[in-house]
Structure 1
Amino acid sequence: MYIIATAVTAFFFAFLAIKFFNPVAIEIGLVDKPCERKQHAGHIPLIGGISIFLAVLAASLLWLPNTLELRMYLIASAMMVFIGALDDKFDLRVRVRIVGQIIIASLMIYGVGGYISNLGNLFGFGDVTLGPVGIVFTYVGIIVVINAYNMIDGIDGLIGSLSINTFTSIAILFIMSGQTNYLSYPLILATATVPYLMYNLGFFEKFFNKECKKIFMGDAGSMFVGLSVIWLLTMATQGEQASFRPVTALWICAIPLMDMLAIVVRRYKNGKSPFKPDRDHLHHIVQRAGLSSKQALVAISSAAAAMSVIGLAGEYFSIPDVIMLTGFIVTFACYVMVIRRITKFEKVQ
């Protein structure tokens, strides 16, 4: 009953936030305008992330224990959403965003002592412990995951579907481990994302013939999602009360990570900034290969779900870390090869 109440509260407040902030966003110009890189009709309110955060805030304050971890998470999230909203409105420089992310990462690392110190038995010779180097590793991990989810947001429904997939997978892993202390966190995040996804995909127009303005997640939302993912993964994989292994975390957020790693390497080889926007992300490539936007959404979301299932199965059957890591590396290598083949085929055409 308690879990249901938290989920219903998150959904309800997210829906109300969207209804309230929709006209406000249009009034203050917090909208996404079409351009060469962004091909959509009209000015779309960038309030998805704000609505999700406010729903998480409301549900957390109403139902969750007032712990240091919760307080620091909500403060860090509020800062992330604020920086993201400024970026949505004023298009901040990359350096400004990265500095903000480093400051926010410090809240997690030093505020609650949450950092990655153990990578598990990745090579079959015992746990890989990082010691003080783990702090640096955690800073890098936080920035990578935040920007991975930020970069993957490119077609309707994708960031919403991928984030729900990740949060649901984390919730299942908590249940599998029998350690449900943090179960409400991913469930609140997942249910708070559902109203955004419904508006973003035009659910109300399709099924109720009700005219509702489309909304986008915005950088405020995608960076907030990334922060929430890495925060939960760090808390769930580290310490004596860890709920699952670090290698499993790779599988449940595989698509955003693979997309980011592949595109950063590709941009670096071409002498471009890793953070310079372009139309060479996974969703762009599969669309150019012939899939429609809806088909691309289904294909990518299905691939993400399949990889999460692999991670969950590996955890359930206690498949050795070294096999899970090797499988992930092989999968990433195959991913890169397929993307290269598609790209080469485009050039030939």
Structure 2
Amino acid sequence: MYILATATTAFIFAFLAIKFFNPVAIEIGLVDKPCERKQHSGHIPLIGGISIFLAVLAASLLWLPNTLELRMYLIASAMMVFIGALDDKFDLRVRVRIVGQIIIASLMIYGVGGYISNLGNIFGFGEVTLGPLGIIFTYVGIIVVINAYNMIDGIDGLIGSLSINTFISIAILFIMSGQTDYLSYPLILATATVPYLMYNLGFFEKFFNKECKKIFMGDAGSMFVGLSVIWLLTMGTQGEQASFRPITALWICAIPLMDMLAIVVRRYKNGKSPFKPDRDHLHHILQRAGLSSKQTLIAISTIAVIMSVIGLAGEYFQVAESVMLIGFLVMFFLYVFTIRVMTKNI
């Protein structure tokens, strides 16, 4: 009953936030305009992320225990959404965004004194403990995951579907470990994302013949989602009450990570900035190969679910972490090879 109440609260507040901020975003110019890289029609309000954050904030304050960890997460999230909204409005320089992300990472690391210090038995020779290097690793991890989810946001429904997949997977991992105290966190985030996804995919127009203006997630939302994912993964894999193994975290957010790593390497080899936007992401390549936006969304979402199921199965059956790492690396190289072949043939 408690979990149902938190999820319902998040859904309702997200829906109401969209209804309220839709005309506000148009009025203040917080919209995404078509350009060479963005091929949509009209000016689309960038309020998806703001609505999700406000819903998470409301549900957390109403239902969750007032812990230091939760307070630091909400403060860091508010800062992330603010920086993202500024970027949506004024197109901030990459350096400014990265500095903001480092400050937010510092708040999360030093605010609660938690960081990624144990990578598990990923090489088969015993636990890999990072010691003080774990702080640096955590900074890198936070920035990588935030930008991985930010970069994957390219077609209708994609960031919403992938983030819900990740949050639900984390919820399942908490259930499997018996850590139901943490279960509300990913469920709140997942249900708060559903109204955005419904608006983004035109659900109301298709099924209720009701004209509802489409919205986008915006950098405020995609970076907030990435921050929430790495926060949950750190909380779930570290400490004495860790709920699942670090290697499993790679599998449940595999597509955003693989897409980002592959494209950063490709841009670096071509002498381009890793953060310079282009149309060479996985969804762009699939569309150039002949798939429609809907088919591309279904294909990528299906692959993401399969990868998550592999990770969940590996955790449930306690497959050796070294085997899971090798499997992930094989999948990544297969992914890179497939993309390279497809790019040459289109």
TM-score by length of 1: 0.99
2:322 match = 322
Percent of pairs with identical residues = 90
Structure 2 unpaired stretches of 5+: none
1:67-106 alignment runs, 5 A limit: 67-106=67-106
Q: For 1:50 and 1:343, how far apart are their aligned partners in 2?
A: 35
Please, which moves more after superposition, 259-268 or 112-121?
112-121
Distance 1:344 1:161 in 2: 28
Cα distance, 1:133 vs. partner? 0.2
Which runs of structure 2 are paired with 1:284-295 in the superposition (5 Å)? Answer: 284-295=284-295
Question: 1:52 aligns to what?
Answer: 52
Q: Using the alignment, how far apart are the partners of 2:235 and 2:243 within structure 1? A: 9
2:238 alignment counterpart: 238
Aligned match of 1:340: 340
Q: Distance in 2 between matches of 1:310 and 1:25?
A: 40
Amino acid at match of 1:35: C
Structure 1 residue 122: deviation in Å? Answer: 0.7
- C-alpha distance in structure 1 between counterparts of 2:120 and 2:342, whole Å: 35
**Matches of residues 217-296 of structure 1 in structure 2 within 5 Å?**
217-296=217-296
Q: What one-letter code is carried by the residue in structure 1 that aligns with 2:330?
A: V
AA aligned opposite 1:114? G
Q: Secondary structure at the match of 2:24?
A: helix
Name the residue aligned to 1:190.
190
Runs of 4+ with >6 A deviation: none
Gaps of 5+ in 1: none
CA drift of 1:113 comes to 1.3
SS at the partner of 1:210? coil
C-alpha separation between the residues in 1 aligned to 2:114 and 2:197?
30
Give 1:149's aligned amino acid.
Y
Quick one: which amino acid aligns to residue 53 of structure 2?
F
| Aligned counterparts, 1:174-189, within 5 A | 174-189=174-189
Give the deviation of 1:182 after TM superposition.
1.0
Q: Give the 3-state SS of the residue equivalent to 1:181 in structure 2.
A: helix
**CA–CA distance in 1 between the matches of 2:293 and 2:156?**
8
Cα distance between partner residues in 1 of 2:95 and 2:305: 33
Cα-Cα RMSD: 0.3
Amino acid in the other structure paired with 1:237: T
Deviations 1:256-291 (A, max 9, x none): 000000000000000000000000000000110110
AA aligned opposite 2:147: N
Aligned residue for 1:63? Answer: 63
Corresponding position of 2:40? 40
How does the TM-score come out when normalised to structure 2?
Answer: 1.00
Q: Tell me the equivalent position of 2:199.
A: 199
Instruction: Provide the residue aligned with 2:135 in structure 1.
Output: 135
SS at match of 1:119: coil
How many Å apart are 1:180 and its aligned residue? 1.2
